Amino acid sequence: MMLMTEERILPDELSRELRDPAAGAYASFEGWIRNHNDGMSVVRLEYEAYAPLCRSEGERILEEARSRWKILHAHCVHRSGSLEIGDCAVWVGVSSAHRDEAFHACRYIIDQVKQRLPIWKKEHYANGDSGWVNCERCASHGPHYDHAQGLPPPDAKAGTPLHKRRTAD
């Protein structure tokens, strides 16, 4: 299920939809609105999206994850409209028989959503300015991830925070 909504995302309720007697694992990702970006103090965000394409392309991404990994269920919900600091902007949940599949599928889904869905973010700053942030730029903040192998980048040593890892240019 891929859902675009202006309503508050409730991860606990959504995760219950993924329960399955065959599931031994569940992995999720929550993207929250933070109070800063690129040295600017952020007070709120607005998301605009072309919902019909987000839903169809989002379903395609979920189906790709199902075909790559043995997962039982996968859902993604993304907000649109005005969001405050601390709000959940995007949620991904995956259940599977084993944790490895759930982790890899969850990571794949959020990375693809950030790259492929027509969602635009407008940041509102404490100084009164605002600016649109290209959705492709948002996707570039994460490290390169080899989804075909389900592996992190070669320099992603255990315990190294993501922000200190080398990222692809």
Residue 169, pLDDT > 50, answer no
Q: What is the pLDDT of residue 133?
A: 87
Identify the pLDDT of residue 53.
Answer: 98
What is the band of 149 on the pLDDT scale with cuts at 50, 70, 90?
A: low
Q: Which of 114, 19, 110 is nearest to 62 (CA)?
A: 110
- 47-70 pLDDT, tens digit per residue, is 999 999 999 999 999 999 999 999
Q: What's the mean pLDDT when you consider all of the chain?
A: 87
Segments making up each domain of the chain, as ranges: 2-164
Question: Can you name the residues that pair with 31 across neighbouring β-strands?
Answer: 90
Half-sphere exposure of 37 (CA within 13 A, CB side): 21
Other Cβ atoms within 10 Å of 142 Cβ, number = 17
Scanning the structure block, which residue is given the tokens 């675009």?
4
Q: What secondary structure letter does DSSP report for 146?
A: B
What's the DSSP call for residue 155?
A: T
Distances (CA, A) of 96 to 26, 65, 66, 106, 108: 7, 12, 10, 11, 14
Tokens of 98: 């084993």
To the nearest 10°, report the CA torsion of 156, 160, 163, 168: -10
pLDDT at 81 over 80: yes
Q: What is the C-alpha separation between 2 and 33, in angstroms, rounded?
A: 20
Contact 126, 86 (CB under 8 A): no
Q: Is the pLDDT of residue 43 over 60?
A: yes
Q: How confident is the model at residue 80 (pLDDT cuts 50, 70, 90)?
A: very high
What value does the CA radius of gyration of the chain take, rounded to a whole number of Å? 16
Least confident of 37-51, 104-118, 135-149: 135-149
pTM of the model: 0.81
- CATH class, range 2-164: alpha beta
* Residue 135: pLDDT band with limits 50, 70, 90: low
Render 49-64 in DSSP notation, one character per residue.
E-HHHHHHHHHHHHHH
